[in-house]
Amino acid sequence: MEEKTEKRGFSSVRPRRLRGIRLLREMVAGTRLAARDFVWPVFVRLGQGIRTPIGSMPGVFQYSPEVAVEELRRAADEGIGAFLLFGITDADKKDATGSHAHDENNAVCTTLRAVKDAKLPLVAITDLCYCEYTSHGHCGRLRGDQSGVDNDETVAALGHQAALHARCGADVVAPSAAMDHMVAAIRAALDAGAYEDTAILSYAVKYASAFYGPFREAAESPPQFGDRKGYQMDFRRGEAEALREAALDVAEGADLVMVKPGVAYLDILRAVSEASPVPTAVYQVSGEYAMLKAAAAKGWIDERAVVEETMHAFKRAGAAFVVTYYARELARWVR
């Protein structure tokens, strides 16, 4: 006798049908990575032939301007479309006001001119802040009683710094000082200097984070007293404050906004990217990078797989692009 086969009570819906064939998975992938999705942070200091490794950030270096140009040339060949420039200041050039930030022959300005002279096909973005230039390591000028950063004095100085960078070749300026109304001051200074086409990428949503530790070694910019919690955002606050900060900067003239750090703030990134009328970026910061490098060195993770998974998370959450120290490795991997 023929045996009867009992029908199982399963639904006809089987999501795994779209997962069984690799090419089909590629066809229906919701997010994709390309080299142009990544911005490479670059640390420069005055000198010649400098290529100093950062101990806490394997694969990251401080470069002298001419070395930076050669590395940027290679990065462009690898498919990178943009870089973010940070200037390192020798101790003897630091002072209470960060005056070296306004020297047209400092490391940032010298590198910008060299990049433009080399006609590299890259968007030149410069960080605007004072922590790398001040003797006290804070992000702006201090009040007379040294009780904290003077917001209004600092935003006026940031406008000066922005116009200088634009004159030397910056396509985009990126204020990271976390001062109220810094975008308005920068936009006014750029427009007054006939740099109305220079864009502003504001670190609009920047938290006082423990993930920044290795950066302070790379930029030689730890605060000499106190901390930056008085002006950077409190990570215990919710989406409402982040949305308010981003909206204020857009209203003042920001062309792009950024959330920083990355992985621990995906909820914030999603909220800002959905609400903002301008593109939203995210910064995978030094501590995030250093942890992945350390785990990979121990053989505890598949580095490429984890990094690519993280980048997809940023893109899913709404990032138009990612500032990451992995930029060049990612450009090679995704190519």
pLDDT tens for residues 12-55? 898 988 999 999 998 989 899 999 999 999 999 999 999 999 99
* Both structure tokens of 226: 């106190």
Buried b (16+ CB within 10 A) or exposed e, 161-185: bbbbbbbbbbbbbbbbbbbeebbbb
Q: What is the pLDDT of residue 3?
A: 53
* Both structure tokens of 281: 């970026």
CB 229 within 8 A of CB 201: no
Q: What is the pLDDT of residue 176?
A: 94
Q: What is the pLDDT of residue 111?
A: 98
Count of other CB atoms within 10 angstroms of residue 214: 22
Count of other CB atoms within 10 angstroms of residue 86: 23
Q: How far apart are CA 37 and CA 319, in angstroms?
A: 9
Q: What is the pLDDT of residue 203?
A: 97
Q: How far apart are CA 303 and CA 293, in angstroms?
A: 7
Catalytic residues: 206, 260
Pairing mode of beta strands 199-206, 38-44: unpaired
Q: Look over the chain and give the mean of its residue pLDDT values, rounded to a whole number.
A: 94
Residues of the chain with pLDDT under 50: 1
CB 46 within 8 A of CB 64: yes
Q: Report how far apart, in Å, the C-alpha atoms of 14 and of each of 19, 54, 172 are.
A: 10, 49, 48
- Amino acid residing at 320: A
Q: Please report where in the chains the tokens 């410069």 appear, as a residue.
A: 126
Q: Please report where in the chains the tokens 């066809």 appear, as a residue.
A: 27
